[in-house]
Structure 1
Amino acid sequence: MKAYEIGSQSGLNSLRLVERDTPVPGPGEVAVKVHAACLNHRDLLTLKGQYGAIKAQDRIPVSDGVGSVTGIGENVSGISIGERVTAPNFVTWLSGKFTPAIFAQDLGISRDGWLAETIILPADAIIALPDNVTDAMAAAIAAAGSTIWHCIVAFGDVQKGDLVLTLGTGGVSILTLQIAKALGAQVAITSSSNDKLARCKEMGADYGINYRENEDWAAALMAATGGRGADIIVETAGLNSIEESIAACAPNGRIALIGALSGQLDNVPQLAGLIGKNVTMKGITAGSREMLSELVALISRAGIEPLIDSKFTFDNAPDAFAYLESGDHMGKVMITF
């Protein structure tokens, strides 16, 4: 089979196309023919050697994907050949609370991911997809979607009428907008592009803040909401923006810290606002199979179609990584097989 490997992890040029024997499922496993995969920011960091320790050069990247079952190992039941499936990126985190042990089986990081013609997955990790959840819907949600569900449902306890704030217009933020609206929440979103903010408004965003035009974007959000602020913040930028996020919070707000897109910390942030507003902040590391399963059910029920900015063929996968790095995208970047 054809597969991509992460190589020396010295930059995007490290990605290399190779031929491998098609893997065979062992006991408790299934083989899945990959239909499509979607990229996340951590896929870029991995190729640059900036996502934890340097990994084996033959690691297959990418955490989000969808495919159909082509092989079933011993001691597996309840799964049929041809069934369309997806899986969380932490394939051993089935339910319950987070434990560091899950990092040992992280698709695209500590275990081979979706950027190959066939992937091997634990049978108890896969989620069968309803007919009305298309490949394009499913490919975009595994790592990103389960993370969002953890942020706004499992941790944030989102209620109808709550205001959810998400930063930027990348894949996670746009999917946050769509999921939060389907759950009856209001949504505020930030961007440096008024055109992107206009598109977000068309998708249902209640508030759009241009952080380039409003350096104190938290004050701009407070003004727009009549001093209310956000009940839940999906913080993708990292600690460089945490003071603004705290300032944008409503009393008793919840901040889900999931990324560091703004880079390394420039200074020690002032966190006194956490106390003044009784804000809760939690680091979020993706989500469990149970969380992803609940999201799949919502997508099926509400007809959520994650925004796919662009599609690249498998042979042109390096171009997909380069496009993601450019930052020109809005929503997800997909690779089709």
Structure 2
Amino acid sequence: MKAYQIGSQTGLSSLKAVEVPDPEAGPGTVIVKVKLVCLNHRDVRIVCGEYGPKRDESCIPTSEGIGEVVTCGEGVSGFAEGDRVIAPHFVSWTRGPFFPGVFARDLGVTQNGWLAEYVSVPAEALVKVPDTLDDKQAATLPAAALTAWNALVEIGKIKAGDRVLTLGTGGVSIAALQIAKMNGARVCVTSSSDEKLDAVRKLGADATVNYRKTPEWGPAAFDALGGGADIVIDTAGQATLTESIKAAAPLGRIVIIGALAGAATEGLPNFGTIIGKNLGLHGIAAGSRDMLCDLVQAVADNQIQPLVDRVFSFDEAPEAYAYLDKASHMGKVLVQL
């Protein structure tokens, strides 16, 4: 089959197109014919050697996609040829709270991911896609949107009337905006682009802040939300945490998801505010299969449409990586087989 491998992980040029044998269905596994692949920031960082230790050069990347069941291995029931399926990339995290062992079985990192004609996935991780969702709606759910769901619903305990701040306009942030609005929240979004801020207002954002024009954007977001954010979706990490703390309301929950802005240049000068506001800081990593089932049902019930920035062909996958790396996109970047 046609596939891509992460190669030497020394930069975007490390991604290489290859021909490899088709995977075979072992006990408890399902072979899925891939239809759409979604790229995430970590996919870029992996081929650049900037996502933990270097991995096996033959690893097939990407953690998010949708496909159709082709073959079921011994002991698998509940799936039939042609079923459309998705799966969280931590395939051993099926239910219950997070446990560190989930990192050992991670699609696109420790085992082969979606950027190929076929992928092998444990049956226990798969989620059937209802007919009411099209491929693009479903393909964008298992990684970025699932992370946003975990942050808002599982950790944030979002409810109608809550105030939410989400940083940036990438896949997690746009999904967070849509999930928050679905739950009746008021949402503020940050970006360095007025054009992107105009676009998120059309998607339902109640307030926006341009962090390039307002470097100390935390107080601006606090005021825009009329008293701070009950939930902050911090996709940028250490470098933005100081402002996220300023933006949070008393008893707010700051959910730390990524490190898009790099490392902090100094410590937290407002460290005492964490205590003064009684804030909760919570790091998360994606979510479980049970969470994904809940998300799929919510998206189907509310017919949420993902924001897809651009779709590349399979042969254009390196261009898709380069496009995502420029960070000029909004929402999701897809690869179609």
1:241: which partner in 2? 240
Distance in structure 1 (CA, Å) of the matches to 2:279 and 2:327: 31
Q: CA RMSD in A?
A: 0.8
Q: Which amino acid counterpart does residue 56 of structure 1 have in structure 2?
A: D
1:249-289 C-alpha deviation (Å, 9 max, x unpaired): 01100000010001122112232111010000011011101
Q: CA deviation at 1:132?
A: 1.4
List aligned pairs for 1:22-61, cutoff 5 A. 22-61=22-61
Q: Return structure 1 stretches of 4+ with deviation > 3 angstroms.
A: none
Q: Which amino acid counterpart does residue 259 of structure 1 have in structure 2?
A: G
**Is structure 2 residue 98 aligned with structure 1 residue 98?**
yes
Contact 1:251 1:278 in 2 (8 A): yes
Distance in structure 2 (CA, Å) of the matches to 1:233 and 1:222: 11
3-state SS in 1 of match to 2:141: coil
Runs of 5+ in structure 2 lacking a partner? none
Scaled by the length of structure 2, the TM-score of the pair is 0.98
2:183: which partner in 1? 183
3-state SS in 2 of match to 1:4: strand
List aligned pairs for 1:186-197, cutoff 5 A. 186-197=186-197
2:231: which partner in 1? 232
3-state SS in 2 of match to 1:164: strand
Distance in structure 2 (CA, Å) of the matches to 1:91 and 1:6: 20
Contact 1:69 1:80 in 2 (8 A): yes
Distance in structure 2 (CA, Å) of the matches to 1:21 and 1:321: 24
3-state SS in 1 of match to 2:177: helix
Q: Which amino acid counterpart does residue 324 of structure 2 have in structure 1?
A: L
Q: CA deviation at 1:220?
A: 1.2
1:197-250 C-alpha deviation (Å, 9 max, x unpaired): 111011000011111111111111222233x10000110010111110011001
Q: CA deviation at 1:5?
A: 0.1
Q: Which amino acid counterpart does residue 157 of structure 1 have in structure 2?
A: K
Q: CA deviation at 1:48?
A: 0.7
3-state SS in 2 of match to 1:77: coil
**Is structure 2 residue 192 aligned with structure 1 residue 211?**
no
Runs of 5+ in structure 1 lacking a partner? none
3-state SS in 2 of match to 1:8: coil
2:281: which partner in 1? 281
Contact 1:240 1:269 in 2 (8 A): no
Q: CA deviation at 1:186?
A: 1.3
Distance in structure 1 (CA, Å) of the matches to 2:329 and 2:31: 32
Distance in structure 2 (CA, Å) of the matches to 1:184 and 1:71: 42
Contact 2:67 2:86 in 1 (8 A): yes
Contact 1:64 1:143 in 2 (8 A): yes
3-state SS in 1 of match to 2:104: helix
Contact 1:42 1:51 in 2 (8 A): yes
**Is structure 2 residue 332 aligned with structure 1 residue 304?**
no
Contact 2:163 2:187 in 1 (8 A): yes
Contact 2:188 2:224 in 1 (8 A): no
2:12: which partner in 1? 12
Contact 1:222 1:229 in 2 (8 A): yes
Q: Which amino acid counterpart does residue 61 of structure 2 have in structure 1?
A: P
Distance in structure 1 (CA, Å) of the matches to 2:223 and 2:148: 26
Contact 2:255 2:283 in 1 (8 A): yes
Contact 1:86 1:126 in 2 (8 A): yes
1:199: which partner in 2? 199
Contact 2:165 2:221 in 1 (8 A): no
1:261: which partner in 2? 260
Contact 1:231 1:249 in 2 (8 A): yes
Distance in structure 1 (CA, Å) of the matches to 2:204 and 2:233: 17
**Is structure 2 residue 136 aligned with structure 1 residue 136?**
yes
Of the structure 1 ranges 264-273 and 205-214, higher mean CA displacement relative to structure 2 is found in 264-273
Distance in structure 2 (CA, Å) of the matches to 1:307 and 1:88: 20
**Is structure 2 residue 110 aligned with structure 1 residue 110?**
yes
Distance in structure 2 (CA, Å) of the matches to 1:334 and 1:290: 24
Distance in structure 2 (CA, Å) of the matches to 1:222 and 1:184: 19
**Is structure 2 residue 162 aligned with structure 1 residue 156?**
no
Distance in structure 2 (CA, Å) of the matches to 1:43 and 1:180: 26
- How many positions carry a matched residue from both structures? 336
Q: Which amino acid counterpart does residue 17 of structure 1 have in structure 2?
A: A
Distance in structure 2 (CA, Å) of the matches to 1:12 and 1:321: 7
3-state SS in 1 of match to 2:249: strand
1:71-116 C-alpha deviation (Å, 9 max, x unpaired): 0101011111100000001000001111111111101001110000
